[in-house]
Chains A and B, each alone.
Chain A
Amino acid sequence: MAIHLNRRTMLALAGAGAVSLATPLAAQDTALRLAFIPQENPEKLLGDIEAITGWLASEIDVPVEGFVTIDHAAAVEALRNGDADISFMGALPFVLAEAEIGAVPLLSEVYRDAPSYTGRIFVRRDSGIGALADLRGRDIAFADPISESGYLYPLAEFVEAGLIDGPGAAEAFFGRVFFAGGYQQAMQAMAEGLVDAAGASQYADLLLTPQQQAQVTWIAESPPIPSHVVIARPGLDAEVQDRFTNAMLQLNEPENRDKLRYLYGPDGYVRADSAAYGGVRDMARRYGLLE
């Protein structure tokens, strides 16, 4: 279901904003609350949260608490109602959260010197598949239907190539479209020959065995996708935002880099550029996720 911003939802958002604005200082008197979304073993994430919140608290001189939400929606809800001040989030959920509650981007993750990455269409080198058109009637595995690099952007390459009319017409072009549940599962399905192609992050082939990596290649690549983002609820005190952001940027320093492993393992952070997420907003609209 798309988020349709009509007058009524806008009023609701305004109300939520007012509530949020009314609570932040009280919240900071107790603790800055960070929402984390599990990407792997939730138990490990709890340990990571303890480590990073402890360090952040010492850096910004404000108590910092962290908690795990079940998914993006719960994190956004927590931001909306003031249970969380800051959350770690993917680019697509961010632009939806921005539209829904006015979430503010603070920091973008950096991988291999860039706050962005791409999605690719991978195939086996011995498959004889050299172009997107060769995949007509063939099977493909994507990671997840709401993954930027694992579905939305790679599929858009087929649209750009004129092979698919739009996001809803993929089934007419491919033989079967699977959602494997993650990059690694999609790539493994392709490498093992269960499907002919996989749509996944540009780095997803690194999840295959070294032998498999040598056996696969890619035939199409999406434009850059902004990387994950750290967002704040609207109305979070500007000084607190600054202190938090500056502390997080300290993680780029050599002496602090070991702590990045507690935060989904990026190579570092940069200040978020909201304009950089324009392409994601466009993509969300194209897929009917955002009006």
Chain B
Amino acid sequence: MTWFSKSTTTFGFLLLAHACYSAYEHSALQSHRAASLSSLSATTQQAAASSSLPLDISLETIVATLVITLGLVLNTAKLRPIQWRVWAGQIERAGEEGARNSSGEVDRDYVGNPFKLLESRPGFVDIRKQRKEFAEWVKRQ
């Protein structure tokens, strides 16, 4: 659904840009009219009416904001499980696969089982044994 959310976001930005441009045009037009009116007659009654934006432009801005928000929310990554056992089960069951984002890369903050250190105990590593095991593994390759 990534194309859907992206097109929704783009559409929202187009609407927002359109609303901004309309507001700018409106104010430019109003100030032009006010200037021409004041040159004709010295009354300043029209100036108050020109300061408020038409309803359709305000509505378009609000709708555009909502559409952009919807598009961005749809594009967020899948939420992590909030229950401990579900989250832990996902780590055990899927491993790295469960932490991939939409572009297929493993999340940068993925550490696997955070309690792995109770089993691997890196502070107490027996380097000579590991070296021997590695040498045997190399020989078998």
Chains A and B bind each other: no
| A residues adjacent to B (C-beta < 8 A) | none
| B residues adjacent to A (C-beta < 8 A) | none
